[in-house]
Chains A and B, each alone.
Chain A
Amino acid sequence: MARESYQQQLQQLTESVRQMGAKVLEGLDLGLRTLREHDRVLAESLDAWDDQVDELNLSIEKECMDLLALQQPVAVDLRLITSVFKIITDLERAADLAVNVGQYGMDAGVFVLVSPDELTALGEFARAMLRDAIEVFIAKDVERAREIIRRDEQMDQRCWTLRRQVLARLLELAREAHSPQEAKEFVDDVIPVLWSIRDLERVGDHAVNISERTIYLVTGRKERKAEHHETGY
């Protein structure tokens, strides 16, 4: 094969994304554990972990820049590099969301409104989407990428259902509150819960972005999320 060194650099780029993806999944686990266990030490360890993800992001970005500047990639190679550029941004943002989720777990009132099992189950669903999206990118598997995009509809539905449960529970608790002050505390508790749900939903959205990029990488065609969703949104 001609341009062996170049081909090795392209393979290394995919390997770097795999490493960054593994690091982000590790942090997402940490964030979910922090949420579930309400563990301050774990929550504090998230910052150092996030710095490592940022460093990986910058390092892969430089790999992409070097390839663009020195190798003038075209066709599938160009699509790989532009896809990696976008995918590492999705991974870096997913990592930021994992940090957020851990920090929301420090709020004592979170589980007054939602059970730890329900919130962590949502987190596990989002994590599985992200894990699969990274695997699919490595394997360049278009059919599985489409399946992940379709799975996001379930994610959105789960988030919607959980939000309704949280708000129903809030109304119930507010009605039973013994004082306006107690009712206000329940309202304060709802904010980190809703943000947790929102951030986990966004982790799923980043998994969708990565899957869409994988389809583009393989086919050269950009498929919109709506093309895969029965409800068309």
Chain B
Amino acid sequence: MKTSIVVPSRRQAQRDDLSSLGEPILQTRQLSLWYGKQQALDGVTLDIPKNKITAIIGPSGCGKSTLIRCFNRMNDLIPGVRIAGEIFYHHKNIQDPDVDPVEVRRRIGMVFQKPNPFPKSIYENVAFGLRINGFQGNLDRRVEGALRQAALWEEVTDYLHKKSGLDLSGGQQQRLCIARTVAIEPEVILMDEPCSSLDPIATAKIEDLMLELKRDYTVVIVTHNMQQAARVSDFTAFLYLGRLIEYGPTKKIFENPDKKETEDYITGKFG
């Protein structure tokens, strides 16, 4: 029988965060992953700190998206995937047989590259996850709270039931997807290239939103846009050919990285 992961409540988590800043919420140890015979990750070991934004950068095919999909077991859904090494969430190995992947994904939400709202009203988009999780509280209040957290409430408050999520602009759709994710109060939000299909204004709104969200959530973002990683993240991990080349505070990575490969990549000498 699958069991729920025991995690502290949000309030407890915030207290912990105040008392032990830098406590990792997610950890990988010698994590390797193969799609069939092709190796995508090679011995990645890193700690993701709580209530921080961690950016994962690297050239196409380096394993960035694969890595964040490991954090909520999204790779389980891909046929032929083999994983070696460990992935810890609150020090619990999420690959253990007693861990329910659905529960993992409830705690560790994900926002994708392309906004993917459901063909339902704005309200139902946000309420959807709550309904399927059997939420018993005040749904209206929770939907409003999520839309406010996603900085979308003011723009959609008059059309909650009248407009479909698909009627919104690209940037609004992505914020709706973020609202849908935060509605179920995960602890971690994984973002896979969340701004790659957005214009600069919409991108700026999402970046502002990320900085707001990190007060309540841990954010892990995969991005090709190095300026975005530099602007929003606290820590940056550089992946190349499936290996973690360098990981550290974003300022250090972008001002004075230790590894030549990192410097060559971020200065555009390859990639």
Is the pair B269, A74 in contact by a Cβ cutoff of 8 Å?
A: no
CB nearest to B260 among chain A residues: A76
Is the pair A77, B267 in contact by a Cβ cutoff of 8 Å?
A: yes
Contact A220 to B255, CB < 8 A, known contacts A72-B227, A74-B226 = yes
Q: Which residues of chain A have C-beta atoms less than 8 A from B271's C-beta?
A: 2
For the complex, is A7 an interface residue (Cβ under 8 Å from B)?
Answer: yes
Most buried by A among B226, B262, B266, B267: B267
Is the pair B269, A79 in contact by a Cβ cutoff of 8 Å?
A: no
Complex Cα distance, B255 from A192, in Å, reads 45
Q: Which residues of chain A have C-beta atoms less than 8 A from B269's C-beta?
A: 1-3, 7
CB nearest to A3 among chain B residues: B268
Closest chain-B Cβ to A14's Cβ sits at a distance in Å of 15
Complex Cα distance, B254 from A188, in Å, reads 55
Is the pair B256, A220 in contact by a Cβ cutoff of 8 Å?
A: yes
Is the pair B268, A2 in contact by a Cβ cutoff of 8 Å?
A: yes
Contact A6 to B268, CB < 8 A, known contacts A75-B255, A75-B257 = yes
Is the pair B227, A75 in contact by a Cβ cutoff of 8 Å?
A: no
For the complex, is B124 an interface residue (Cβ under 8 Å from A)?
Answer: no
A:1-50 near B, CB below 8 Å: 1-3, 6-7
Q: Which residues of chain B have C-beta atoms less than 8 A from A2's C-beta?
A: 268-271
CB nearest to A72 among chain B residues: B227
Closest chain-B Cβ to A80's Cβ sits at a distance in Å of 10
For the complex, is A73 an interface residue (Cβ under 8 Å from B)?
Answer: yes
Q: Which residues of chain A have C-beta atoms less than 8 A from B17's C-beta?
A: none
For the complex, is B263 an interface residue (Cβ under 8 Å from A)?
Answer: yes
For the complex, is A78 an interface residue (Cβ under 8 Å from B)?
Answer: yes
Is the pair A76, B227 in contact by a Cβ cutoff of 8 Å?
A: no
Q: Which residues of chain B have C-beta atoms less than 8 A from A77's C-beta?
A: 267
Complex Cα distance, B255 from A221, in Å, reads 11
* Interface mask (A198-233 → B, CB under 8 Å = 1, otherwise 0): 000000000000000000000011000000000000
Contact surface of B with A, Cβ cutoff 8 Å: 226-227, 230, 254-257, 262-263, 266-271
Contact surface of A with B, Cβ cutoff 8 Å: 1-3, 6-7, 72-79, 220-221
